[in-house]
Amino acid sequence: MSFRLVVLVSGSGTNLQALLDAASDDAYGATVVAVGADRDDIEGLARAGRAGVPTFVERVSDHPTREEWDESLAERIAGHRPDLVVSAGFMKILGPRVLAAFPVVNTHPALLPSFPGAHAVRDALAYGVRVTGCTVHLVDAGVDTGPVIAQEAVPVREGDDEESLHERIKTVERGLLVEMVGRMAREGWTTTGRTVRLGTARAAGQAAAVRRPAPAAEPAPAQDRTQGTTQGTTSGRTTK
């Protein structure tokens, strides 16, 4: 049974496309089971449609409060029973219901903790940095503050504008996201404080084990994928 991904998008969806392409090979170990968006009529949804992947849209403006949007989004995602939610250019801050229910990975077009937020590329250029890049990280309640999984640097070139730099970052970002999500699916991961370790549990498509790590004194069965949560939680396979 393949590791199930729900991907959230708000725009062109090239990161989603990279995941769809990778997942078309069984050896990748993960399948995109649904794509969710916070708006209609975006290329990301069209890409999902062309790939035959079910989609859903939850607009904040369709709900009386942000809390109710969060609740509805969590329900829509849960309907697809994901092992992992991937925020790939999703331009909304996820709420506590979603974050409590699923592990979420985000990709960000800067080297966090530098330049968090929605205008990372513009902010990096305005600052005048010579090197920027991208970050794949777990999502927590803050804005781009969750534990880092991987980062890759991209040099800023003379004459770069926001568009040219973002395009070069996205080329690197797609590769990094695909690689990290694939490794999480195939190898499992543990989180201890702010440290994410990949390859610390053997993958077997056991979603329940992802959400409920075995106590430290009682190692998880050999076929379980385990994941510590935060604040120093230790999974059955990780020693702090």
Rule CB under 6 A: is residue 11 a binding residue for ligand GRF?
A: yes
**What DSSP assignment string belongs to 90-140?**
--S---HHHHHHS-EEEEESS-TTSS-STTHHHHHHHHT-SEEEEEEEE--
Rule CB under 6 A: is residue 7 a binding residue for ligand GRF?
A: no
Clarify whether 119 is annotated catalytic. no
Question: Judged by CB under 6 A, which of 70, 83, 144, 173 binds ligand GRF?
Answer: 173
Residue 106 CB, shortest distance to ligand GRF, in Å, is 8
Helices (H), the chain: 14-23, 43-50, 66-78, 96-101, 120-127, 162-187, 207-211
Residues near ligand GRF (CB under 6 A), total:
15
Rule CB under 6 A: is residue 89 a binding residue for ligand GRF?
A: yes
CA-CA distance, 218 to 194, in Å (whole number)?
A: 23
Rule CB under 6 A: is residue 147 a binding residue for ligand GRF?
A: no
- Identify the residue whose tokens are 């530098």: 114
Choosing from 63, 80, 108, 119, which is the catalytic residue? 108
Rule CB under 6 A: is residue 36 a binding residue for ligand GRF?
A: no
Interface residue list for ligand GRF (CB under 6 A) = 9, 11-16, 44, 88-89, 107-109, 170, 173
